[in-house]
Amino acid sequence: MATINENFSKLASGYLFPEIARRTALWQKQHPEASVLRLGIGNTTEALSPAVCKALHDKVDLLSHRETYSGYGDEQGDTYLREQLVSYYHQYGVDLDPTEFFVSDGAKSDAANIQEIFSKDNVVAIQDPAYPVYVDSNVVGGRTGRFNPDTLRYEGFVYLASNEENGFVPDPPKQKVDLIYLCSPNNPTGAVATTQQLKAFVDYALENKAVILFDSAYSEYITEEGYPHSIYEIENAKKCAIEINSFSKFSGFTGVRLGWTIVPKELECEDASSGVLNKMWNRRQCTFFNGASNIAQAGGYAALSGEGLRESRALVAYYMENARLIREGLTRAGLTVYGGINSPYIWAKTPNDMPSWDFFDLLLDSCHVVVTPGSGFGPSGEHYIRVSSYGHRENVEKAMQSIEENLHV
Amino acid sequence: MATINENFSKLASGYLFPEIARRTALWQKQHPEASVLRLGIGNTTEALSPAVCKALHDKVDLLSHRETYSGYGDEQGDTYLREQLVSYYHQYGVDLDPTEFFVSDGAKSDAANIQEIFSKDNVVAIQDPAYPVYVDSNVVGGRTGRFNPDTLRYEGFVYLASNEENGFVPDPPKQKVDLIYLCSPNNPTGAVATTQQLKAFVDYALENKAVILFDSAYSEYITEEGYPHSIYEIENAKKCAIEINSFSKFSGFTGVRLGWTIVPKELECEDASSGVLNKMWNRRQCTFFNGASNIAQAGGYAALSGEGLRESRALVAYYMENARLIREGLTRAGLTVYGGINSPYIWAKTPNDMPSWDFFDLLLDSCHVVVTPGSGFGPSGEHYIRVSSYGHRENVEKAMQSIEENLHV
């Protein structure tokens, strides 16, 4: 008699973005004439760059001839790409080895799967609000109790509140925790941690033999000087941190699918000396994964190289100009906004303490603009919305015009 | 104090194929002048077909213009591809709904991840020998005790021996089990289950509320009439079976990465009524996965359509001609062989009861041919080798010539 993994039933509700899609589709059905302006999901909208497209075409051409065809590659990713990633990190003064990189089909998969190499008994700290994948993967992994609908919290998690008081970057926890998910620049708040703030977490982790799971998927969106792009810019972080990053937002690979995770050889924890966690993630990937698409990997190499790198950065600059327009537009509409300077996300307070989902519905109904309700990212996200700067310029402009004209706060 | 998932330490040894690669590389280093002939890993060697390459190029072109660019798709796969898969199954008289298909980056990922939606307490039955992923994923998932190096078995698994006596297709277990991994055409033995044999497993599963995890990645290699290509050709199998398949071996997508899993709405188990398991896998994919590469999906659609489908089948026919040459060559060399008629794998007995790894080393050393030791697939694989028909024709011919000349049994 097969039985199910009961942890799935603890999951509070449908995954956030499908729920947004459902509500939007329903509203669109009721208003077929309306043109919906989408600033909800962080979904890239601009074309892949010429250098990337050339590399993708070239790889397909190689695969179309038996002399140059290749099948399975290494589960960890092609060596040429891992070596290019090593070079990429040199710009931040970070020295890593190719065997510390694990290329994957994207940061979401890695962020969700990484918990599998740790014990079920580990206590997990998450920034609140946070990308839902950190939370949901650990619920499924069995590290929580039930969801409490009154507090909007799972039993067992340690929530690190990110709020106006701390500039949306929390301090390390007061109590002992084992795994800490950190994301900087942050999704959803758009806040970016300083060197001192990251150092406080690294010191905490070293002292408590905790492991930091650092999501730097938006590192290329940092426009101001002095903020770390990689946690390994902090001394001794290799001993206590795993870093996850992606080509999705940097090079428009949301649909192409490519990311990477760094598990340093120096990384250790209570019952794993240096090297063990690197080997465990290697074994996990060799068992559960068969490598990222070789076409995507060829595109990723181009995105990090010469003209491709310049083009990737031009893509980021395009979205950051959107971010500026959104910041200014929402401010003119009377909202209080954060983020959007070192991050593609603008984190805006709802007017008059309105609940997030109500404000979501209001913006959809009165302005035809889709945003993401902050409460979908955790209890401290309540009374906020996340506005994504991913969109065509003209749509961003239309959305801001519509909000300025139709939103009365 | 972070601690590790101790189940990883139960894993018996390095994953089979990296171990083969390691031994081969070591030998090659010691014999730099020798040309190694690889019939080990089931890694495709022939070019992607023209229709597939055209579709891949066309998709890259779409992604290179902002008007036709697309980012994140549905986690479950693009609708057009899921609908094409529905049509593909009509050839077998199997009627499914697009929402029962989940497109992924490959059958290996799905075969490894599917156990996550089931309870840790389920008793798992596996064919012995079997594709190592079924075993290793359930070890990591916590469904076994220790590996016993004397019996070469994990405590807790039920091993269904596949041997000469049963034609390498075992009967359903005598005791009660909850999850049953079946693969037909079988990797590694090359055996294919008849309708009656599959029906016996379906009857068992229905009677015991067990769930069958059916791997049909080699279904297109069936050349003889009368064998089921899909488990859903068996009456009521939708109530008790999940099917996993792939574009890897059918269309040469081993490096491109694309597969699919079918979780029928009718599927149920002890504590999940119909629909629940479909929803759980949907939730799992939405949380842990972000969809397969949109480029690969465009290629997959072409591989199942019109000229592309004919070209995919021509690829299969090419490898099956290799299979015939291998069967005949090994037979001439004095080995007893099975499989290779409805499967790309030939399962050959080692001479004089030689252990599998010894015969692996002998073939490498004396014939310069790499095969896969049968014991890597489970205890009943001992005294066998798996020979893969994936290779250029000329290499297969050279390998057979070398074995016929240099192997003295």
Write the pLDDT tens digit of every residue in A1-60: 999 999 999 998 766 787 898 999 999 999 999 999 999 988 999 999 999 999 999 999
Higher pLDDT residue, A16 or B380?
B380
- The verdict on a CB contact (< 8 Å) between A112 and B288 is yes
Distant-in-sequence, close-in-space partners of B61: CB < 8 Å, separation ≥ 6: A53, B68
Distant-in-sequence, close-in-space partners of B262: CB < 8 Å, separation ≥ 6: B96, B100, B101, B102, B232, B242, B243, B244, B245
B273 part of contact set with chain A, CB < 8 Å: no
Query: pLDDT tier at A217 (50, 70, 90 boundaries)?
Result: very high
Closest CA in chain B for residue A69 = B47
Q: For the residues A280-303, what does the mean pLDDT come to?
A: 97
- The verdict on a CB contact (< 8 Å) between A64 and B48 is yes
Q: What secondary structure letter does DSSP report for B330?
A: H
A207 part of contact set with chain B, CB < 8 Å: no
Q: ipTM higher than 0.90?
A: yes
- The verdict on a CB contact (< 8 Å) between A293 and B256 is yes
pLDDT, tens digit (0-9, with 9 covering 90-100), for A124-155: 999 999 999 999 999 999 999 999 988 889 99
Query: pLDDT tier at B409 (50, 70, 90 boundaries)?
Result: confident
Which residues in chain B touch residue A255, judged by CB atoms under 8 angstroms apart?
63, 70-73, 291, 293-294
Q: What 3-state class would DSSP assign to B130?
A: coil
pLDDT, tens digit (0-9, with 9 covering 90-100), for A70-91: 999 999 999 999 999 999 999 9
pLDDT, tens digit (0-9, with 9 covering 90-100), for A92-133: 999 999 999 999 999 999 999 999 999 999 999 999 999 999
Closest CA in chain B for residue A78 = B255
Q: What 3-state class would DSSP assign to B15?
A: coil
Q: What is the pLDDT of residue B17?
A: 80
pLDDT, tens digit (0-9, with 9 covering 90-100), for B287-305: 999 999 999 999 999 999 9
Q: Which of A166-175, B18-27, B394-403 has the lowest mean pLDDT?
A: B18-27
**CA separation for the pair A405, A398 (Å, rounded):** 10
Q: For the residues A351-370, what does the mean pLDDT come to?
A: 97
Q: What is the pLDDT of residue A409?
A: 82
- The verdict on a CB contact (< 8 Å) between B2 and A291 is no
Torsion angle of C-alpha atoms A194, A195, A198, A199, degrees rounded to 10: -150
From B226's Cα to the closest Cα of chain A, the distance in A is 30
- The verdict on a CB contact (< 8 Å) between A43 and B256 is no
Q: What are phi and psi of B408, to 5 degrees?
A: -120, 105
Closest CA in chain A for residue B287 = A133
pLDDT, tens digit (0-9, with 9 covering 90-100), for B340-363: 999 999 999 999 999 999 999 999
Answer whether A35's CB lies under 8 Å from B303's CB. no
- The verdict on a CB contact (< 8 Å) between A287 and B133 is yes
**CA separation for the pair A86, A39 (Å, rounded):** 34
**B283 marked among binding-site residues:** no
- The verdict on a CB contact (< 8 Å) between B4 and A118 is yes
Write out the two tokens for A2.
């097969």
Structure-token match 């599959």, residue found: B198
Higher pLDDT residue, B406 or B12?
B406
Answer whether A272's CB lies under 8 Å from A280's CB. yes
From A233's Cα to the closest Cα of chain B, the distance in A is 22
Nearest Cβ partner of A4 from B72, B117, B288? B117
Share of chain B above pLDDT 90, in %: 95
- The verdict on a CB contact (< 8 Å) between B47 and A63 is yes
**B102 marked among binding-site residues:** no
Write out the two tokens for B318.
């090419």
Nearest Cβ partner of A70 from B5, B70, B255? B255
Q: For the residues A223-248, what does the mean pLDDT come to?
A: 97
Pairing of strands B337-339, B345-349: antiparallel
Q: Which helix (H) or strand (E) holds A160?
A: strand A158-161
Which residues in chain A touch residue B277, judged by CB atoms under 8 angstroms apart?
4
From A125's Cα to the closest Cα of chain B, the distance in A is 12
B230 part of contact set with chain A, CB < 8 Å: no
Answer whether B38's CB lies under 8 Å from B391's CB. yes
CB pairs under 8 A between A and B: 273
Nearest Cβ partner of A69 from B45, B112, B121? B45
The residue among A11, A108, A124 with the most chain B CBs within 10 A of its CB, best to mutate, is A108
Closest CA in chain B for residue A175 = B1
Q: Is the pLDDT of residue B15 over 70?
A: no
Please enumerate, by residue number, every residue of A annotated as part of a binding site.
Answer: 15, 42, 72, 107-108, 131, 187, 218, 246-248, 257, 290, 386
Which residues in chain B touch residue A124, judged by CB atoms under 8 angstroms apart?
none
B280 part of contact set with chain A, CB < 8 Å: yes
- The verdict on a CB contact (< 8 Å) between A280 and B5 is yes
From A349's Cα to the closest Cα of chain B, the distance in A is 27
**B69 marked among binding-site residues:** no
pLDDT, tens digit (0-9, with 9 covering 90-100), for B18-58: 789 899 999 999 999 999 999 998 899 999 999 999 999 99
Query: pLDDT tier at A355 (50, 70, 90 boundaries)?
Result: very high
Closest CA in chain B for residue A241 = B2
Share of chain B above pLDDT 70, in %: 99
173-202 of B, contacting A, C-beta below 8 A: 176, 178-179
- The verdict on a CB contact (< 8 Å) between A65 and B46 is no
Distances (CA, A) of B75 to A31, A39, B85, B293: 26, 19, 16, 10
**CA separation for the pair A348, A331 (Å, rounded):** 9
From B408's Cα to the closest Cα of chain A, the distance in A is 33
From A118's Cα to the closest Cα of chain B, the distance in A is 4
A64 part of contact set with chain B, CB < 8 Å: yes
**Domains of chain A listed by start with CATH number:** 6-48+309-406 (3.90.1150.10), 52-307 (3.40.640.10)
- The verdict on a CB contact (< 8 Å) between A290 and B108 is yes
Q: For the residues A391-409, what does the mean pLDDT come to?
A: 96
Q: What is the pLDDT of residue A18?
A: 79
Q: Is the pLDDT of residue B14 over 70?
A: no
Which residues in chain A touch residue B71, judged by CB atoms under 8 angstroms apart?
43-45, 252, 254-255, 390
Whole-number mean pLDDT of chain A?
Answer: 96
